[in-house]
């Protein structure tokens, strides 16, 4: 049973066809559903996230899903600074790091779709003034935005 | 969007109801809540210019370094 309805899939397929420009890799750190359950390591939303992203990635040739198991690929997760799963990293024309921690449901799903497009095009809708400021930052900034699905 | 425009920026969107220990660590009582470099935090949305100004205050800006006091 797909998470995305046929109508949603068709809508997204069209949005991706019109607005994606260059390829984007969606890197997902998760828990493989085939894996033996280890007490204390059950990831409540990994199964849903895996399926949702597989469905999204299937809607465009420009999207590639790269799935890593947090325990099996622990070294890679460490390099990526991933401690919680599911964790999604977007790789395309982004200069900095764009991540989603937890299932991207509700309003976050819309944010994910918009970010996929921005990362694919390497452009955002920020004002020229904001963009200029951002190119002149001195120290690294780690911004965490805490949200709940609505 | 900020992280797309600057290599200095890492942006995490955290679905906090899945991670109660993060809600506790960052004292998330209302959403959206934003934390920058563990040093600046606020609740609620901000206009773009105000948000960028806060990023700038945390990260510093090249062409105003050392001259902002004078």
In a domain, A120, yes or no: yes
User: How confident is the model at residue B67, as a pLDDT?
Assistant: 47
Q: How far apart are CA A5 and CA A55, in angstroms?
A: 10
A1 in a structural domain: no
Digitized pLDDT (tens) for each residue of chain A, 150 residues in all: 899 999 999 999 999 999 999 999 999 999 876 656 666 657 889 999 999 999 999 999 999 999 999 989 999 999 999 999 999 999 999 999 999 999 999 889 999 999 999 999 999 999 999 999 999 999 999 999 999 987
Predicted confidence (pLDDT) per residue in B5-64, tens digit? 999 999 999 999 999 999 999 999 999 999 999 999 999 999 999 999 999 999 999 875
Separation CA B65–CA A120 (nearest Å): 33
pLDDT tens-digit map of B2-16: 899 999 999 999 999
CATH number reported for the structural domain that contains residue A68 in this entry:
3.40.30.10
Is A20 inside a domain boundary? yes
- How far does B43 lie from chain A, in Å, by closest CA? 9
Could you tell me if residue A37 is inside a domain? yes
Q: How far apart are the first and last CA of chain B?
A: 32
In a domain, A150, yes or no: no
Q: Is A34 on the interface with B (CB under 8 A)?
A: no
pLDDT of residue A68: 95
Query: Rounded to an integer, what distance in angstroms lies between the CA atom of residue A21 and that of residue A58?
Result: 16
Q: List the domain range (segments joined by +) for residue A95.
A: 6-135
Q: Which residues of B touch A130 (CB under 8 A)?
A: 2, 5, 48-49, 52
Structure-token pair, residue A89: 């990293």
* Token code pair at residue A117: 């497009």
- When scoring A110, A137, A138 by the number of chain B Cβ atoms within 10 A, the one with the most, hence best to mutate, is A137
Domains in chain B: boundaries: 2-60
Question: Does residue A72 belong to any structural domain of this protein?
Answer: yes
Given B12, B37, B59, which is nearest A145 (Cβ)?
B12
Look at chain A and report how many structural domains it folds into.
1
């Amino acid at each position: 049973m797909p998470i995305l309805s046929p109508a949603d899939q068709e809508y997204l397929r069209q949005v991706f066809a019109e607005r994606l420009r260059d390829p984007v890799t969606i890197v997902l750190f998760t828990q493989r559903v085939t894996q033996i359950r280890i007490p204390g390591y059950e990831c409540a939303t990994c199964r849903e996230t895996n399926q949702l992203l597989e469905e999204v990635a299937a809607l465009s040739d420009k999207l590639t899903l790269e799935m890593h198991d947090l325990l099996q690929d622990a070294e890679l997760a460490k390099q990526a600074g991933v401690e919680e799963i599911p964790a999604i990293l977007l790789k395309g024309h982004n200069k900095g790091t764009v991540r989603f921690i937890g299932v991207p449901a509700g309003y976050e799903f819309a944010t994910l779709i918009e970010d996929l497009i921005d990362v694919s095009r390497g452009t955002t809708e920020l004002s020229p003034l904001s963009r200029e400021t951002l190119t002149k930052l001195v120290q690294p900034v780690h911004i965490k935005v805490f949200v709940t699905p609505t | 969007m900020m992280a797309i425009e600057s290599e200095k920026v890492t942006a995490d969107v955290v679905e906090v109801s899945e991670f109660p220990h993060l809600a506790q660590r960052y004292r998330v009582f209302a959403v959206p809540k934003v934390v920058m470099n563990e040093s600046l935090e606020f609740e609620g949305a901000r206009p773009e210019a105000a948000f960028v100004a806060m990023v700038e205050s945390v990260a510093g800006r090249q062409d105003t370094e050392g001259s902002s006091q004078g």
